[in-house]
Chain A
Amino acid sequence: MLGRSANAIFWMFRYLERAENLARLLDTGFRMALTRDHLTAEEEWRSVIETAGMRDGYQEQNATYAGIQVWNYILRDRDNPNSIRSLIGAVRSNARSARNTITTEVWEAVNESYLQLNDLLSRPVTQAGLADAISTVKRESTLVRGAMDGSMLRNDIYNFARIGSFIERADNTARILDVKYYVLLPSLSYVGSSLDNVQWETILRSLGAERAYRWLNAGQLDARGIADFLVLDGRFPRSLRFCYAKIRSNLHSLALQYGEEVHSHEVMRNADLKLQDKDIDVVIEMGLHEFLSDFIVTNNRIAAAIEADYRFSD
């Protein structure tokens, strides 16, 4: 396949993943804000912007953190390159530019999602419309993934799509955990102590993990357990461990198809082995923030190595 197409597909799935994670983040913010007084609600929305990594852009336009401003900025602001509207536009544009590498089913799922969301987001989203907007984003993303699963050949194209999804997902999980955990835990002495349960839940909810976590831990909420689950539990599909197992498996398929391993495979293998060796108590002791910052840097390095090895650009 063309390097340019590999690039388009890889980023298409990164953007799609990012849009879905933003929707989940908004969902969490919204639920939290509903149960708070006015001031704490603003605090919650500020944290959403922070977690989404949009502070600078947001502050250029807004002085306060009113909910309606925040969700409209994240959902539909055209000047925000990471707004869901911008991301969905980029997903479609990438799909169009690599149209002959994806099946009609995938293309139609992307195009329909785009048309529906673009229409939905062409007007400001009110409080009454927010839940619908959020669930539409999640549904459309699921639709595209499903079309992908059911119709695509398991070849290089599929593998680049999957690698893009999991690189982005790992990055997002690490960022959400980092920001939320950091906000929640100003000092290490809080680890292990019982905090506001609702606050803890925001981390899990932002990653769609609250049900899975509860199911595995019989309702026990503590910082260590949550960090362990989101970083190291290979059963949870948004954990760092899970994402890396998937990327390795997709890179392995690529190596089988192409008949050779290249540099990025080694970079990935090393990163994964390092992650597998981790013990959550040691990670927390050494500093979760430091660990996550390192992780994000390494994750970017893996993506860059793949992009270079497979000639995504000239």
Chain B
Amino acid sequence: MSPTYTSTFDEMHTAEGAVRSAYEGYCSWYDEQDASGLHRKHREAEAFFRRTGITFNVYGQDEAEERLIPFDPVPRIITAHEWRRLSKGIEQRVRALNAFLHDLYHRQEILRAGRVPEWLLKGNPAFLPHMSGFTPPGGVYTHITGIDLVRTGPNDFHVLEDNARTPSGVSYMLENRETMMAMFPELFTRVKVAPVSNYPRRLARSLAACAPPATKGRPVVAVLTPGIYNSAYYEHAFLADQMGAELVESSDLRVVDGRVQMRTTRGFTPVDVLYRRVDDDFLDPLTFNPESMLGVPGIMDVYRAGGITIANAPGTGIADDKALYSFMPEIVEFYTGEKPLLPNVETYRCMEEDGLKYVLDNIEELVVKEVHGSGGYGMLIGPTSSKREIAKFVRKLKANPQNYIAQPTLSLSTVPILTRKGLAPRHVDLRPFVLMSPNGIEITPGGLTRVALKRGSLVVNSSQGGGTKDSWVLEE
């Protein structure tokens, strides 16, 4: 499974410099453009983002500074054929994740069968005992999932991470497309691209389909945000606006008469489905972190009594655990009875003796990650780190091995970006967004392509200087 490609796979050009079929339409258009016009459009796009306020705040900075995520105007293109294959694999994976979560919080068959070890749950803060024995409305845990994919060859896509806690970035998928269509309308008449703009409508419908038993009439959906200083606030407001839902904060909500209700100008009104962009720990100060100012005291009781749907379900975040990730092939097989269509990246668990030894012996070649980490923080990229950085990391690793996993350094595929000197290849990943309701699974064709803007860099996270691209799935 470990990738054996010696050279990087470029999605636009073959090693001989020929244009791959996915990019034929785009490249014939590109060849007709003059460089200065493209650069001008690029600057216009930045101004557009600034004006519309598509910004994010970086964690850990003193002042809540709003930054733009750099946008690259060269699209990332996937053929209809490739997408069909991918979406089958994604659907299988999300179905398995949901079944796994249900099992984990009920009979735990997979533990009894010995396919996943119990130590994964013990002391894992993402596992919520409060959810045991409770089935969320419609049996859905993962209403929204982002599956991070990386590509290493023509037919080699791997899942790098599952994001079921609170996957973000979907607003960039939508706004990047809007921007591309505004900048290069003629391009879209030449190349037929599957639309993404119906995502908010689908999301609203999907959430409404998971309404709780207490719902009367048309389900009321609200988006719960920590507030305007949150790094993803733009996205929360954007999605609420696009869905026609209320954007609520903790101070708007209160438990009244056994329902979670929001304070409107006309009094308290029940919320049926809460799309929360607040972590489990902050959801209910009566059940979880008592210091939380971001949640709703008593919401968990209402939830368990069928008074509200929380999306994603509390306790879903365990699916993001990187140690658990290493068991995904077993998990997919256990619940679907099929081999995984999308392979994992090979993963070494430092918690296990053999794994730790291998990691320590080969650390220069590996990427070591914290099992609960995200956003590219707290990780070591062996090949690009200095001896001192490695030594420092090894001390941390040895002190707390169960906190780490390691993976081979993948040669992520590249897609060109627009630079002053023309097109230049940069590494990318892809996060498609998946919706689940009792009516089924919907995957929006495309997703968020993140791109490392520095030559040779493998870190695509926006918090670490990565950018984004519009992601196209071609129509047949």
B251 touches A4 (CB 8 A): yes
A96 touches B247 (CB 8 A): no
B251 touches A314 (CB 8 A): yes
Question: Given A4-B249, A96-B228, A99-B241, are A104 and B263 neighbors across the interface (CB < 8 Å)?
Answer: no
- A to B CB contacts below 8 Å, 9 in the list: A3-B263, A4-B251, A96-B53, A97-B228, A99-B238, A100-B240, A100-B245, A100-B247, A160-B265
Interface code A181-193, partner B: CB below 8 Å = 1, 0 otherwise?
Answer: 0000000000000
Chain B residues positioned under 8 Å from A258 (CB to CB): 265-266
Interface code B205-235, partner A: CB below 8 Å = 1, 0 otherwise?
Answer: 0000000000000000000000110000100
B241 touches A2 (CB 8 A): no
Q: How large is the interface on B (under 10, 10 to 19, 20 to 34, 35 or more residues)?
A: 20 to 34
A93 touches B228 (CB 8 A): yes
A88 CB to nearest B CB, Å? 14
Considering the chains assembled together, what is the distance between the CA atoms of A116 and B439 in angstroms?
48
A2 touches B227 (CB 8 A): no
Question: Given A99-B241, A104-B52, are A6 and B251 neighbors across the interface (CB < 8 Å)?
Answer: no
Chain A residues positioned under 8 Å from B227 (CB to CB): 97
- Check A153 for interface membership: any CB of B closer than 8 A: no
- Give the dominant DSSP class at A's interface: helix
Considering the chains assembled together, what is the distance between the CA atoms of A93 and B50 in angstroms?
15
Residue of B237, B251, B266 contacting most chain A CB atoms (<10 Å): B266
Residue of B50, B233, B264 contacting most chain A CB atoms (<10 Å): B264
A144 CB to nearest B CB, Å? 14
Considering the chains assembled together, what is the distance between the CA atoms of A91 and B227 in angstroms?
16
Interface code A150-161, partner B: CB below 8 Å = 1, 0 otherwise?
Answer: 000000100010
Q: How large is the interface on A (under 10, 10 to 19, 20 to 34, 35 or more residues)?
A: 20 to 34
A311 touches B237 (CB 8 A): no
A107 touches B265 (CB 8 A): no
Chain B residues positioned under 8 Å from A314 (CB to CB): 251, 263
- Check A222 for interface membership: any CB of B closer than 8 A: no
Considering the chains assembled together, what is the distance between the CA atoms of A100 and B53 in angstroms?
13
- Check B246 for interface membership: any CB of A closer than 8 A: yes
Residue of B228, B240, B246 contacting most chain A CB atoms (<10 Å): B228
Partner of A96, one of B233, B249, B265, B267: B233
Interface code A300-314, partner B: CB below 8 Å = 1, 0 otherwise?
Answer: 000000000011001
A5 CB to nearest B CB, Å? 8
- A82-127 contacts to B (CB < 8 Å): 93, 96-100, 104, 107-108, 111-112, 115
- Check A1 for interface membership: any CB of B closer than 8 A: yes
- Check B421 for interface membership: any CB of A closer than 8 A: no
- Check B44 for interface membership: any CB of A closer than 8 A: no
Chain A residues positioned under 8 Å from B240 (CB to CB): 99-100
Question: Given A2-B248, A108-B52, A111-B51, are A96 and B264 neighbors across the interface (CB < 8 Å)?
Answer: no
- A1-45 contacts to B (CB < 8 Å): 1-4, 6
Extra contacts, 20 of them, besides A1-B264, A3-B252, A100-B241 (Cβ < 8 A), are: A1-B265, A2-B246, A2-B248, A2-B263, A2-B265, A3-B265, A4-B251, A93-B228, A97-B228, A99-B241, A100-B245, A108-B52, A108-B53, A160-B265, A310-B266, A311-B263, A311-B264, A311-B266, A314-B251, A314-B263
Chain B residues positioned under 8 Å from A93 (CB to CB): 228
Considering the chains assembled together, what is the distance between the CA atoms of A91 and B240 in angstroms?
20
B264 touches A2 (CB 8 A): yes
A111 touches B228 (CB 8 A): no
For the complex of A and B, 10 pairs with smallest distance between CB atoms: A99-B237, A100-B241, A310-B265, A100-B240, A100-B247, A3-B263, A111-B53, A6-B265, A96-B228, A97-B228
- Check B262 for interface membership: any CB of A closer than 8 A: yes
Nearest A residue (CB) for B66:
A96
Nearest B residue (CB) for A97:
B228
Chain A residues positioned under 8 Å from B263 (CB to CB): 2-4, 311, 314
Chain B residues positioned under 8 Å from A107 (CB to CB): 52-53
Chain B residues positioned under 8 Å from A96 (CB to CB): 53, 228, 233, 237
Chain A residues positioned under 8 Å from B237 (CB to CB): 96, 99-100
Residue of A4, A100, A160 contacting most chain B CB atoms (<10 Å): A100
B203 CB to nearest A CB, Å? 14
Considering the chains assembled together, what is the distance between the CA atoms of A185 and B282 in angstroms?
60
Considering the chains assembled together, what is the distance between the CA atoms of A297 and B155 in angstroms?
74
B52 CB to nearest A CB, Å? 6
A109 CB to nearest B CB, Å? 10
Chain A residues positioned under 8 Å from B264 (CB to CB): 1-3, 311
Considering the chains assembled together, what is the distance between the CA atoms of A165 and B317 in angstroms?
45
Chain B residues positioned under 8 Å from A6 (CB to CB): 265
Nearest A residue (CB) for B242:
A100
Residue of B50, B51, B233 contacting most chain A CB atoms (<10 Å): B51
